[in-house]
Structure 1
Amino acid sequence: MGLLDSLKAKLAPAKEKVSDLAQQHGDKIDHGLEKAARMVDEKTKGKYSDKIESGTGKAKNALDRIAHKDGDVKGEGHTPPPAA
């Protein structure tokens, strides 16, 4: 067993725990991201609004991937039904 395989095996339970927590508390995390983005935007007086909005969107997408909300986990993607 290689080093990476060993690491993956040891981190698998932590990955599942993080995924479960992201599913359970996703709304609270989203609220925190929005609140932090608003505060930073106020402190910078709107100078970096586009970058803040972009970063917030990327963070929310990452949260969705972690929580498996999009259903597109590697190897478990949805395939469309065959055309008739």
Structure 2
Amino acid sequence: MGILDKFKSNKAARDKAKHASDTAERKMNERTGGKYEGQIDTAQQQAERRLGMDRDRPDQP
């Protein structure tokens, strides 16, 4: 079992990562004045998808 498998099975870690991802997105949008909001949102979605944290999918067991 790899580190990402452990991460994916730990709901508390996923919740904390989602919160950190949202915070980072908000800070970047503030620093850029919202100029790159679309690109930042796309990057956040891709990063979360690669970590198995798709917000569109129901929580995995």
Q: TM-score, normalised by structure 1?
A: 0.55
Q: Which 4+ runs in 1 deviate beyond 3 A?
A: none
Q: Which has the higher contact order (CA 8 A, sep 6+)?
A: 2
Counterparts of 1:43 and 1:56, CA distance in 2: 16
For the pair 1:23 / 2:23, whether they are aligned, the reply is no
Structure 1 unaligned residues grouped into runs of 5+: 1-12, 71-84
1:45 to 3, 26, 33: 33
Q: Percent identity?
A: 25
Deviation at 1:22, TM superposition (A): 3.6
> Between Structure 1 and Structure 2, how many residues are aligned?
53
For the pair shown, the structure with the greater C-alpha radius of gyration is 1
What is the CA deviation profile of residues 15-57 of structure 1, one whole-angstrom value per residue up to 9, with x for unaligned ones? Answer: x133202431111111101100100000100000000000000
Other-structure match for 1:80: none
Counterparts of 2:46 and 2:8, CA distance in 1: 15
Counterparts of 1:32 and 1:21, CA distance in 2: 15
Structure 2 unaligned residues grouped into runs of 5+: 54-58
